[in-house]
Structure 1
Amino acid sequence: MTVMATEAHPATDALLDRWTALLQRCGTTADPVPYGRELLRRWAEPQRRYHTTDHLLAMLDQIDLLAEHAADPDTVRLAAWFHDAVYKPDRSENEERSAQLAIRALREAGVAEPRIEEVARLVRLTVSHHPEPGDRDGEVLCDADLAVLGGAAEQYAAYAAAVRAEYSFVPEQAFRTGRAAILRQLLALPGLYRTPTAVERYTERARANLAAELSSLES
């Protein structure tokens, strides 16, 4: 990871503080600040409409909420920082490239190798959002990433609009067809969430939101 000099901005100070404390808890031997600023620069790239620093902040808050279910909450937090650090809407290899970025950056920062390997595994898991039974850290990361589906109707509408904006280069009918297929797959799952807290808090609203968007796309 090439650390670039970036100017701090008040809106990102709280996130940078959280990153710095996290990397220090994870045993870094380097100054965390330049790495955090580079990650925040990536999360603020102009092609992003949903996968922004707002999404990162929401995920970190969700991980805090679900932390009791994780085996190693700080490793899950590191994975959240990196899981969409590389993001191009027209590319299919974003998760793998994000995992490789995590490996390079965390090695350079002196984080222990077993934790680096686990972060990369978790980042790759966000391709499918299907953790194996007993994968407590994977369950927390995936539930945090999908928590947006269980938001209030207006929050979900803003999320859906932001996703459409990210894929503005896709013709309308093609987007509707592809998005509808994804929604059907999600609705067909026996469970959207794995942790007891997320199951209780989000399942009902998530299914209602997904069904409403699918109905809109098919109308």
Structure 2
Amino acid sequence: MAPMTTPENRHPAHDDLRERWVRTLLTVRRPEADLPSGTPSPYAYADDLLARWAEPHRRYHTTDHLIAVLDRVGLLSSHCEGPEAVAAVTLAAWFHDAVLLPDRSTNEDRSARLAERALPEAGVSPQLTAEVARLVRLTATHDPAPGDTGGEVLCDADLAVLAGTPQEYAAYAAAVREEYAFVPDDAFRAGRADVLRRLLDLPALFRTPYGRDHWEHVARRNMATELELLLS
């Protein structure tokens, strides 16, 4: 059960995000007349998700990260194959870090299973629910297959943080370290270096034309610098 959103953890964009969620959900869910009696309000799902994103143990995977990914999905949406594909990627962005237990390696699968439970109840078709869950699970590797345009958009939107300015990247790296504060320094450095090497070994970090043109070079430079600092 996610905690309730309180005045202390309520994000300034909370109300706007609720409306963004509802607009997306209403584009793909079954007509009101076809929904079972007692179907929860679309806002109930927004409130649950926003409470999850506001959990106090989060430092990087926060509501600000959700907003950034949603905004980048919008930026890259022309790469998707039609409005329903854009809606699937947008819903996947909402769910992709909805479950975050920093001491577990199953967060992507748990987040996908949350989508698989919530979306059918909210009136989303089995086919679209399956696509959203697939996209969420893809963020475990950030390695979509060629031609998987939805996966390319979601993964690029999630990884775009790597292409920030040096100051932005340093703040991102510090927030990740704080989120894993329970991990001893040596173990964290080794694990983080493995993550960076895995990403740097990908033939391309970004698969959309915009991502390749605007983010690839800067992201690789930032990660190479972080890796060098971790190993020094």
TM-score by length of 1: 0.95
Alignment map for 1:15-30 (pairs within 5 Å): 15-27=17-29, 29=32, 30=40
What is the alpha-carbon distance in structure 1 between the residues aligned to residue 146 and residue 65 of structure 2?
Answer: 26
What is the alpha-carbon distance in structure 2 between the residues aligned to residue 22 and residue 216 of structure 1?
Answer: 41
Q: Deviations over 1:40-67 (max 9, x none)?
A: 0000111111011000000000000100
What is the alpha-carbon distance in structure 2 between the residues aligned to residue 175 and residue 112 of structure 1?
Answer: 41
**TM-fit CA distance, 1:137:** 0.3
Asked if 1:174 is matched to 2:187, the reply is yes
**TM-fit CA distance, 1:207:** 0.8
Alignment map for 1:109-124 (pairs within 5 Å): 109-124=122-137
Unaligned residue ranges in structure 2 (runs of 5+): 33-39
Change (3 A) 1:4 1:147: closer
| 1:137 aligns with one of 130, 147, 150 | 150
**TM-fit CA distance, 1:203:** 0.7
Report the AA paired with residue 58 of structure 2.
Answer: R
Alignment map for 1:8-157 (pairs within 5 Å): 9=10, 11=12, 12-27=14-29, 29=32, 30-71=40-81, 72-157=85-170
Report the AA paired with residue 68 of structure 1.
Answer: S
Report the AA paired with residue 84 of structure 1.
Answer: D
TM-score by length of 2: 0.89
Point out 4+ residue stretches in structure 1 off by more than 6 angstroms.
Answer: 2-5
What is the alpha-carbon distance in structure 1 between the residues aligned to residue 42 and residue 115 of structure 2?
Answer: 14
Q: Deviations over 1:77-128 (max 9, x none)?
A: 0000001111100011111111111011111111111100100111111111
What is the alpha-carbon distance in structure 1 between the residues aligned to residue 217 and residue 181 of structure 2?
Answer: 30
Change (3 A) 1:10 1:203: closer
SS at match of 2:215: helix
What is the alpha-carbon distance in structure 1 between the residues aligned to residue 73 and residue 184 of structure 2?
Answer: 35
Give the paired residue count.
Answer: 218
Asked if 1:188 is matched to 2:190, the reply is no
